[in-house]
Amino acid sequence: MNAIVDPNAPDLAKVPSNPVPEGAHAGYFETTDKIRLRYATFPKRAGAPKGTICLVQGRTEFIEKYFETIADFQARGFSVATFDWRGQGGSQRLIGNKRLGYVDTFDDYWTDLKSFHASILLPDCPPPYYLVGHSMGGLVSLYAGFRDRMMFERIFLSSPMVGLDRQPLSSAGMATVCEIPSYIGLGQLPIGRPADKPASEMPFPGNPVTSDLMRFTRGVDVLKARPDLEIGAPTIRWVGAAMRAMARAAQDDFPGAIKIPVLMLAAGRDGVVSTSATEQLGLRMRTGRHMIVPSARHELFMENDTIRAQVLAAFDAFITEPSA
């Protein structure tokens, strides 16, 4: 597989509050099941080359949201490669209502990551490869560690989506509840919580994702300039797929089967995913551990300078830590 040669290659959104990192190259690639995804690569900017960060986002997110973090990685000597998951950002949407989050099965995200690894990372980016995932991307990253220990050297996660609080049933039970309407053709209907409100419509006061007004506003600026990048509520089918994936990650054999070093950072004030679920998983992993960032909300990379400094310090220490 190779990247698609496209005369209409995607432009990255450019807004004054969110400068594009140096050396950006954007394009499309095609997954093994023929879904067209937008990607971008960024060369290292300083120091000796350290390899490539493969950055995978959370639900509703897009490449431009991580420009500041990409620049942080570049300054540390890393190249960065990232892409928009199927059904969101600048990638191919999967159902008629392009504003809704949809996926047939969570394994489709694994297909996205494997295809990106084969099409972009291996041929175009310098090794070694490190996987950095946020929220939904964190859960996909754990599946990568579970299924293929050779793809990445280490996995660093921000607020991984391994469980949700305040659910009336277990993840497996919630999955079954959502799968029933999907079987009768209702899987594309929206369902969601207040936290699933589109970012452009979310007020800053009381928001669950960041305490930093500048970074919150910057994300809104991008979506105002490029409303085509935004999605809102998930569909019933998406929620069922996500719940089924979280239920699998909670099974007894899952943590011990991950052979790659993993560091999971959980937000102390996370109102989107379950911090306690991350703690429980971290305690059960053989090659992984967890750390709680006090006072932080869900989007650790979008938090205030003090919290981001803790996150990046943890990243630096973990990535440079000698292997056992």
User: Residue 245: inside a domain, yes or no?
Assistant: no
Question: So what's the pLDDT on residue 129?
Answer: 98
Question: So what's the pLDDT on residue 16?
Answer: 95
- In the chain, what is the greatest distance between 2 CA atoms, to the nearest angstrom? 56
pLDDT at 7 over 50: no
CATH number at residue 81: 3.40.50.1820
User: Residue 226: inside a domain, yes or no?
Assistant: no
Number of domains into which the chain is organized: 1
Tens digit of each residue's pLDDT (9 = 90 or more) over 203-232: 999 999 999 999 999 999 999 999 999 999
Question: So what's the pLDDT on residue 317?
Answer: 97
Q: At 201, is the pLDDT very low, low, confident or very high (cuts 50, 70, 90)?
A: confident
Q: At 104, is the pLDDT very low, low, confident or very high (cuts 50, 70, 90)?
A: very high
Please report, rounded to a whole number, the percentage of residues in the chain having pLDDT higher than 90.
91
User: Residue 52: inside a domain, yes or no?
Assistant: yes
User: Residue 229: inside a domain, yes or no?
Assistant: no
1-5, 118-122, 309-313, 319-323 — which is least confidently predicted?
A: 1-5
Q: Please tell me the pTM assigned to this model.
A: 0.95
Question: So what's the pLDDT on residue 144?
Answer: 97
pLDDT at 4 over 90: no
3-class DSSP state for residue 142?
Answer: helix
User: Residue 198: inside a domain, yes or no?
Assistant: no
User: Residue 216: inside a domain, yes or no?
Assistant: no
Tens digit of each residue's pLDDT (9 = 90 or more) over 42-91: 999 988 899 999 999 999 999 999 999 999 999 999 999 999 999 999 99
pLDDT at 3 over 70: no
What are 289's strand-pairing partners?
263
User: Residue 215: inside a domain, yes or no?
Assistant: no
Quote the domain boundaries for residue 119.
3-100+107-165+251-320
Question: So what's the pLDDT on residue 195?
Answer: 59
CA of 154: how far to CAs of 73, 145, 209, 317, in Å?
Answer: 15, 9, 26, 12
Tens digit of each residue's pLDDT (9 = 90 or more) over 245-283: 999 999 999 999 999 999 999 999 999 999 999 999 999
pLDDT at 26 over 90: yes
pLDDT at 9 over 80: no
User: Residue 210: inside a domain, yes or no?
Assistant: no
Q: What are 86's two structure tokens?
A: 């199927």
Q: Where are the beta strands (DSSP E) in the chain?
A: 3-4, 25-30, 36-42, 52-56, 79-83, 129-134, 154-158, 262-267, 288-293
Which residues, 6+ apart, have CB-to-CB distance to 278 below 8 Å? Answer: 159, 160, 162, 163, 264, 266, 290
pLDDT at 105 over 80: yes
Quote the mean pLDDT of the chain.
94
